[in-house]
Structure 1
Amino acid sequence: MMAPAPLPSERPRVLVVCPGPWDKETLGARFHERFELLFHGEKLVEQPSLVAGLRFDVSRWVEQAVETYRDAGLSGILGTGDYPGCMFAALVGERLGLPVPPPAAVVLLSHKYYSRRLQQQSVPEATPDFEPINPFSGPPRLRRLAYPFFLKPVKGTMSIRAQMVHGPEDFRRAVRFSWRERIEKSLLLRPFQQLLRRYTDGQVPAYWFIGEAPLAGTQVTVDGFVERGRPVVMGIVDSVMYPGTISFQRFEYPSHLPDSVQARMRDIAVRLMRASGFDHACFNIEMFHDTQRDTVSVIEVNPRMSYQFADLYERVDGMNTYEAQLALATGQPVPWQPGSGRDRVAASFVLRRFSDARVLRVPSEAQLAAVKERFPGTIIKVLCTAGERLSALDQDVGSFRYGIVNLGAPTREELFARYQQVEEMLAFEFG
C-alpha cells in the first residue's frame, strides 16, 4: 500500500490505526476540515480472522506500516481500539518519532495481571488481592484468594467470560471452552502474546485469566489524558447496571458520587497513570466506590480513550474527547474547559435483552432520521441485523446487547423522558 504523498496543507496529517465504526463516523464527520485523516488497518477490525492468522506477525505488520508512512508527512498517529488499535498505533508511532504512549506502558496496562502489579506498587490502597489463573489446568490451587472470587480473562472485552466464581464446579463452567473456541482464542491472542514476550517476563500468557477479590459498590469510569507526562482527569461517568446483574444499563455523566469520593478517585488515577509511564494519549480507568466501607478500588485500566463517551463530554463540557486525542497525537496543548457544554447531563444507554432471540426487524433509516430530527445530535448504534440471533454476536455473560443510544438534556428528568421517547421510536422486533 502506498501512502498519499504529503501536500502543502495547513491541516495536520494524522494516521488512525485500526479504526472502528465510532472512529470513522466521528472523525470523518467532525474533524476532516481541521485534520487530514488517513485510515490504516481497517481490515484487522472488520475481519479479526486476519489478526488470528497463523502467519500474522506483529513486527512485520508494524514494519510495513512504518515503510508505508515514513515519508507521508504525518503530524500524528492514534488508535482508540482496545485491541489491537491502541497497541499497534504506539508501536508504529514510536518508530516514526511521533508523540505516542510508550508501547511497553500500553501493553502492560492492557494485560489485567501486569496492570494489577503496577497498581499494587503505585496505588496499593485501591488494589484488591489477585492472582493469575491458568484456565486449562483444572480448578486453581488458590494462594491469595478464597471462594468466591471474580474471574476474568487477562485480555478481554465487553465483560465476556467475566463472572463471579463460587466454587470448583462454577470455575469449570466459567472456563469451559470447546476445542474450536480454544483454538480461536489462542489464534486471536497470538499478536498480543508476541508483545508480551517483548515487554514482560512472559509468565502469564495472553490466554490466562485473573482471579480477584470481589468488589462491590458504585461503578464508574474515570476518563482523562496524559499531556507531556502530566495526567489530567476530565470527568467521571457513572456505570449503571441492570438491577441484579453485571450488565451495563447506561453510562451517565456527570457522576452522582460525592465530591470527596470523586476527589479520591481523581488522585488515584493521577498517581497510577504517572507511575505507568503512559503519555500523549487519553485513558480511562474503571473504579468502584464501596459505600459501606468507604473504599475506592480500581477495576481495570484501559490505555485508550472511551470512544463511546466522546460526545457525552462534548455535550456537558463543550469538547469532544476525540478532539483531545487529536491534540495529544499532534503534540498540541489540550484546551480542556469543564462545564462549557450546551447540556447539563448526558448518557449512553445500552439496549439489552436477557434471553436470546432471533432479530426480526431493526429500525429503518427513516425511523433513525425521525429520532435525530426530534432530538438533534442523538447517536444511535444498531448492533444487530435482521435474521441473525443475538447470541451470534460478542456478548457478556447473561445478556444480549442490540443497540446503543447517546443523548443529552438540560436536566436528568428531561434526559430520561427523551430516552423513553427514543426507545419507543426505535422499532426493534425479536422472535
Structure 2
Amino acid sequence: MASATRNQTAKKLVCIVGSDAFHQEMIGRIPEAKDWQLEQVLHRTDVQPNGTFDFDTLLNEARAIISGFDRPPDAIIGHLDFPVSALVSLLCRDHGLIAASPEAVARCEHKYWMRQYQQDALPDHTPRVVAINPFDPDIMRKPPLPFPFWLKPVKGHSSMLGYRVRETSELTQALSACRRAIHRYGEPFNAFLKHLDPAELPTDKIDGNYAVAEELISEDQLFTLEGYRHKGETTIYGAIESRRSGRHMSSLSSYYYPAELPGEVVEAAQQQVTKVLTQVGFDNGPFNVEFFHDPETGALNLLEINTRLSKSHAPLFEIVDGCSHHKQIIELALGQTPDRPKRQGTSPMAAKFMVRSHEANGVVHRIPCQEEIDKLRALMPDLKVQLLVGEGQNLSELVDQDSYSFELMDVFLGARAPISLRMHINAAGTRWCS
C-alpha cells in the first residue's frame, strides 16, 4: 500500500529532448512544474551540431538516457525542429505515450508531401510546387516553374537553403548551394524514414535529398498560430505576428504576441490547418502553423506546419501569460486537458527582436556584457537576452542560418502598448547594434 501511495504522489517524469539551460529554467518556472520531474535528454548542441550528424546515433543516445531513469517517462516533448521533432515521435512510440504518430510527423515535415496533402484538402488554396533532384543537370535546361519561385530543401529549418529565384543565374547559385549542403539534413531525414511504416507514406520515392520549387505566396502580413490536436479536435491558443527584413524581406526580424488579428482571420486559418492536419492524419500532438495574409484582399495562404511548439515564442507567452506555453503541451502529453493561457503575466504585450547581420560574412568584435544587460533590465524588467555568438566568432561558422542573414542575438521584451514595445526594441537595438 505504501508503494502504491508513493507511485500516486510521485512527480511526473517529463523528458525534454534537445533543450538547454535557458529553456529548462523557463519550463521550471511554470507553476505546475512543482508536480513534474523535468529531465533534459540530449542538449541543443547535440541535436544542432556544427557539422553533420547521425540520426540513429542520436536516437540510441536518447533511448539510453531515458532508460537510465528510475522509471519510465510520463511525457516526452521537444521544442526544436528536425531532428528533435522526429526523435520525440519515435521515443513516444517506444513508450506508448501520447503523441502524433511518426508517420504523420513525416508527412507534415516533408515539404513536398505536405503540399500534396494540402492540395487534397484545400485545392483552391495550395501553391504550385514541383519536387526536383538538385543533382539533375537537366534542371538548368528547363526550370521547374516560371520565374520567380522559391527553391527549398525538402527537409531543413530556419529557412536554410531557401532561395528566391528570379532568373537562370540565381537558379544556378541556389542549386550549387543545395548540392553542397542538402545532405546535412537530407541523410538524417532518410534515416528517420527507415523507422516508419512504408505503407503509411507516399510512394513517390522523393527522399530528404530532394528540393522543391514553389510558387510565391508572400503577402504583407505573416503570422503563426500555436495549437494542438487532441482526439480529432483542433485547439488554437495563441497567435503571433512576424515581421521581416533584409533581402527579399525573407529574414524574420521580430515576433509580436498577441498578434493584432481580426477574429475571423484566425478562424479561417484554423479551418485551413484543421483540414490539412485531418488529411495528413496528425492527431494528439502540438503544432505551430505559419500563414501569409493580405489585410486588403483577405487572401490567406498556409506557408508551413511545424510539429512542435515554437521555442521562439516561449518567452513571449511567459511575459504575457505568466508562463511558457510548454505548460499546454506538457499537459497534453500527460493526458490532461490543457488550460488556455491566462494573460496573467507582467505585460499585456511582448516581442522577440532578432539582431541580424545582413552582410555576406564578418567577425564579431564585441558582445554586450552582463552589466550592460542588467542596466537595461533595470529599465525594462521583462528583458530577456539570448546571445547566439561569441567575441571573435566568424559568422560563416554559424549553423542553420537563413540564406540571406546571420542571427546574432535574440532580445525579448514586454510593454503596455505596441508603440512603447517598438520604442523598447529600437532602444535595445541601437544600444547593442550601432
Q: Same fold, TM exceeding 0.5? A: yes
1:252: Cα distance to partner?
A: 1.4
* Alpha-carbon distance in 1 for matches of 2:136, 2:20: 35
Distance 2:66 2:107 in 1: 23
For 1:134, the equivalent position in structure 2 comes to 133
Provide structure 1 residue ranges, at least 5 long, that are not aligned to the other structure.
Answer: 1-5
The answer to whether the aligner puts 1:357 opposite 2:362 as a matched pair is yes
Give a deviation string over 1:219-239, Cα, whole Å, max 9, x none. 111211123332111122111
1:93 corresponding residue in structure 2: 92
Note the 1:111-190 alignment, pairs <5 A: 111-138=110-137, 140=139, 145-177=145-177, 181=181, 184=184, 187-190=187-190
Q: Percent identity?
A: 25
* Aligned equivalent of 1:3: none
Distance 1:353 1:209 in 2: 26
Q: Residue in 2 aligned with 1:331?
A: 335
Q: What does 1:10-409 align with in structure 2 at a 5 Å threshold?
A: 10-20=10-20, 22-30=22-30, 32-42=33-43, 44-45=46-47, 47=49, 49=51, 51-52=53-54, 56=56, 64=64, 67-68=67-68, 72-138=71-137, 140=139, 145-177=145-177, 181=181, 184=184, 187-195=187-195, 198=198, 200=201, 201=203, 203-217=205-219, 218-242=221-245, 244-291=248-295, 293-337=297-341, 339-355=343-359, 356-394=361-399, 395-409=401-415
Q: Compared with structure 1, are the counterparts of its residues 118 and 255 closer, same or farther at alpha carbon in structure 2 (3 Å cutoff)? A: same
Shift of residue 366 of structure 1?
1.8
Aligned alpha-carbon RMSD (Å): 2.9
Sort the Cα spacing of 1:52 and 1:345 in 2 relative to 1 into closer, same or farther, 3 A: same
Which residue identity lines up with residue 370 of structure 1 in the other structure?
A: K
Distance in 2 (CA, whole Å) between partners of 1:104 and 1:189 is: 12
- C-alpha contact 1:118 1:276 (8 A) present in aligned 2: yes
Distance 2:85 2:184 in 1: 22
How far did 1:62 drift?
A: 6.8
TM-score relative to the length of structure 2: 0.86
SS at 1:126 equivalent: coil
Shift of 1:289: 1.4
Change (3 A) 1:149 1:263: same
Asked if 2 retains the 8 angstrom alpha-carbon contact of 1:409 and 1:415, the reply is: yes
Quote the residue 2:3 is aligned against.
none
Gaps of 5+ in 2: 1-5
Deviation at 1:182, TM superposition (A): 6.0
Closer/same/farther in 2, CA of residues 48 and 188 from structure 1, 3 Å limit: farther
Q: Take 1:115 and 1:269, find their aligned partners in 2: how far apart are those partners?
A: 11
C-alpha separation in 1, matches of 2:178 and 2:265? 44
Report the Cα distance in structure 2 between the residues aligned to 1:193 and 1:250, rounded to whole angstroms.
Answer: 34
Question: Aligned-pair distance for 1:216?
Answer: 2.1
Which digits, 9 at most, give the CA deviation of each residue in 1:183-215, with x for residues without a partner?
A: 655555453453578453361110211111111
CA offsets 1:318-364 (integer angstroms, 9 cap, x no match): 45211111111111111104545443322111111221321011111
The 1:216/1:181 distance shift into structure 2, 3 A limit, reads: closer
User: Per-residue displacement from partner, 1:305-324 (whole Å, max 9, x unpaired)?
Assistant: 01111232343344521111
Aligned residues: 420
Matched to 1:384, the amino acid is: V
What is the one-letter code of the residue matched to 1:110? E
Provide Cα deviations, 1:227-269, integer angstroms capped at 9, x if missing partner.
Answer: 3332111122111112652111211122234333232112212
Give per-residue Cα distances to partners, 1:275-296, cap 9 Å, x unaligned. Answer: 3332333211111113464321
Letter in 2 for 1:107: A
